[in-house]
Amino acid sequence: MNRPFRFAVQSYSASSAEDWRDQARKAEDLGYRAFHTADHHIGPGPALDPTNHGVQDFAAVPAIAAAAAATSTITVGCRVFCTDYRNPVVFAKELATLDVLSDGRLEIGLGCGWLENEYDAIGIPFDRAGVRIDRMEETLRVIRAHFADGPVDVIGDHVRAVGFEGVPKPATPAGPPIMIGGGSKRILGIAGREADIVSLNFDNSSGSLGASSVQSGTASQTTQKIDWVRAGAGDRFDEIELEIAAYFAVVTDDPEAAAAGLAARFDADPALLADHPHALIGSVDEICDLLVERRERYGINYVTVSNRTLEAFAPVVDRLADG
């Protein structure tokens, strides 16, 4: 059985505090179900330039709190927090606090980090992928222990959290839904086992955004990723929501020209975007048809678009949300 469609907006940038609040309110008014930021910290300069990654204006935690305060129904969160950037106990308390102060509207996104230049720029060791994933798993244990009743007692290879009970407790006993995102076999297997929502992402192990990132998200690669999720999930696979970001989303009557322009930015073949699961290029009717077809093909019902296309994409949301 197909899950109803759910749409989210992810924003990195805002010209002012009021612009940020206005984006969140507009997403809510237009029928999007979630408003997310990301978790990057460095501004323009020689550390960020080679990565082809954009600048994030506001830090995630206060930005989420501001978005929650400006809205009343939309889910808020981060797609996704890098668990290496925070002490796990401090992070768990921040998450629980955000959930309580938003009246239970938080969605928790977790990832193990990938932007090596950012790690170097802010003085955090960039361990090999296996270690970063281990640390993310242990951080998740701390978060769940903090949310649960009784004392926190988590001692791992990278995390120590003992001798206290987590406060506050989240707004609902089960706690906020947890999204785990990534593009590699191990992280997606863990996501299948542990997450409520699995975010299917590029494999960004190269440390920069480019042709290799785009190639890692093709139709065949996406099918492989879902197989990894399924293997990790076992019998609970049907309980999991699959999310994907439409990094290449353009509502247009000239899809060929739009695809050529987008492909040039990432040194990719425009033909690659025609059947690319992270691309939604075409008229409102064409995009709606694509989403329905891909939900049948992959089981993906949760789609995230950039704040840059928030208004242009709204007719798609209006037509398909919850359907």
The verdict on residue 288 lying in a domain is yes
How confident is the model over 72-115, as pLDDT tens digits? 999 999 999 999 999 999 999 999 999 999 999 999 999 999 99
User: Does 142 score more than 90 pLDDT?
Assistant: yes
Q: Residues near 297 by Cβ (< 8 Å), separated by ≥ 6?
A: none
- Average the pLDDT over each of 72-76, 96-100, 249-253, 272-276 and give the range with the smallest value: 272-276
Segment 242-259 mean pLDDT? 93
Main-chain dihedrals φ then ψ at residue 198, nearest 5 degrees? -110, 125
pTM equals 0.95
Segment 150-156 mean pLDDT? 97
Q: What pLDDT score does 1 carry? A: 64
Q: What pLDDT score does 276 carry? A: 92
Main-chain dihedrals φ then ψ at residue 12, nearest 5 degrees? -100, -25
Estimate to the nearest angstrom the gap between the alpha carbon of 307 and the chain centroid. 14
Q: What pLDDT score does 2 carry? A: 86
How confident is the model over 211-231, as pLDDT tens digits? 777 888 899 999 999 999 999
Q: What pLDDT score does 192 carry? A: 98
Segment 59-72 mean pLDDT? 98
Segment 226-249 mean pLDDT? 97
Q: What pLDDT score does 52 carry? A: 87
SS3 content of the chain, % helix, strand, coil (to 5): 45, 20, 35
Q: What pLDDT score does 50 carry? A: 92
Strands (E), the chain: 6-10, 34-37, 75-78, 81-82, 106-111, 151-155, 160-165, 178-182, 197-200, 241-245, 248-251, 279-282, 300-306
The verdict on residue 130 lying in a domain is yes
* CA–CA gap between residue 208 and residue 276 (Å, rounded): 19
User: Does 296 score more than 90 pLDDT?
Assistant: yes
Q: In which domain, by residue range, is 58 found?
A: 6-320
Furthest CA-CA distance within the chain:
61
* CA–CA gap between residue 120 and residue 126 (Å, rounded): 7
Asked whether 179 and 199 are in contact (CB, 8 A), the reply is: yes
Estimate to the nearest angstrom the gap between the alpha carbon of 247 and the chain centroid. 12
Asked whether 75 and 104 are in contact (CB, 8 A), the reply is: no
Q: What is the separation, in whole angstroms, between the first and last Cα of the chain?
A: 12
The SS3 call for residue 36 is: strand
Which pLDDT band holds residue 298 (cuts at 50, 70, 90)?
very high
Which pLDDT band holds residue 261 (cuts at 50, 70, 90)?
confident
Between strands 151-155 and 178-182, the pairing is unpaired
How confident is the model over 170-215, as pLDDT tens digits? 999 889 999 999 999 999 999 999 999 999 998 777 666 667 778 8
Q: What is the CATH number of the domain that holds 164?
A: 3.20.20.30
The verdict on residue 166 lying in a domain is yes
User: Does 4 score more than 70 pLDDT?
Assistant: yes
User: Does 269 score more than 90 pLDDT?
Assistant: no
The verdict on residue 1 lying in a domain is no
Count of domains forming the chain: 1
Q: How many helices (H) and strands (E) does the chain have?
A: 11, 13
